[in-house]
Structure 1
Amino acid sequence: MAEVDKACCSLPAVTTHDYKPNGTYTKLAGLDVYQTGPPNSTRALIAVYDVFGSTPQTLQGADLLSHSLDALVLVPDFFKGKPLPLSLYPPDTDEKKKIAGEFMQGTANIDASLKTLGKMVVEAKGAYGDVKGWGCYGLCWGGKLAVLNSGAGTEFKAAGTAHPGRLVKEDAEKLTIPFICLFSKEDGTPELMQEYGQALEKNDENVVEKYGSMHHGWMGARANLGDKENLKEFERGYTQLAGFFSKHL
Structure 2
Amino acid sequence: MTLIEVCCNTSPTNAEWVNKGVDKVLPTKVNGEDRLTYRTGPKESKRGIIGIYDIFGFHPTAYQFFDRLALANEGFKVSVPHMFKVVSPVEQLLGNRPALMEWVSKHGDYKNSHLDALIRAAVEDLRADGCTSFSIIGQCWGTWIAVQAASEEDSLFLAAGGPHPSMTTIETVKDVRCPLILLASKDEDDMLPVVESVKHKNFAVESFHKRFENMHHGWCGCRGDWKDPEQFKAGLEAIKLFADYFTKVAEVSEHQ
TM range (shorter): 0.7 to 0.9
- My pick for the range that moved more, 216-225 or 175-184, is 175-184
Tell me the residue number matched to 1:22.
20
Aligned equivalents of 1:216 and 1:54: distance in 2?
17
Aligned equivalents of 2:57 and 2:97: distance in 1?
18
- Cα RMSD (Å): 2.2
* 8 A contact 1:40–1:131 mirrored in 2: no
Tell me the residue number matched to 1:153.
154
Match of 1:75 among 70, 80, 87: 80
In structure 1, list runs of 5 or more residues that go unmatched.
1-15
Tell me the residue number matched to 2:101.
101
Tell me the residue number matched to 1:196.
194
1:40 CA displacement: 4.1
* 8 A contact 1:200–1:208 mirrored in 2: no
Tell me the residue number matched to 1:9.
none
Match of 2:51 among 47, 58, 65: 47
* 8 A contact 1:51–1:84 mirrored in 2: no
Q: Which digits, 9 at most, give the CA deviation of each residue in 1:62-121, with x for residues without a partner? A: 1111111421111111113412433544x2xxxx22430221121112323442334424
Q: TM-score normalised to the size of structure 2?
A: 0.79
- Count matched residues: 225
Q: What SS does structure 2 have at the residue aligned with 1:208?
A: strand
Q: Which has the higher contact order (CA 8 A, sep 6+)?
A: 1
Aligned equivalents of 2:118 and 2:226: distance in 1?
29
* 8 A contact 2:79–2:126 mirrored in 1: no
In the TM superposition, 1:1-249 aligns within 5 A as 18-28=16-26, 29=30, 30-68=34-72, 69-89=74-94, 91=95, 96-113=96-113, 114-121=115-122, 123-125=124-126, 127-128=128-129, 130-151=130-151, 152-188=153-189, 190=190, 193-202=191-200, 203=202, 205-249=206-250
* 8 A contact 1:53–1:84 mirrored in 2: no
Change (3 A) 1:40 1:226: closer
In structure 2, list runs of 5 or more residues that go unmatched.
1-13, 251-256
Q: What SS does structure 2 have at the residue aligned with 1:106?
A: helix
Q: TM-score normalised to the size of structure 1?
A: 0.81
- My pick for the range that moved more, 197-206 or 227-236, is 197-206
Percent identity over the alignment is 28
The residue identity in structure 2 corresponding to 1:74 is S
Q: Which digits, 9 at most, give the CA deviation of each residue in 1:116-149, with x for residues without a partner? A: 3344245425532x11111110001110111112
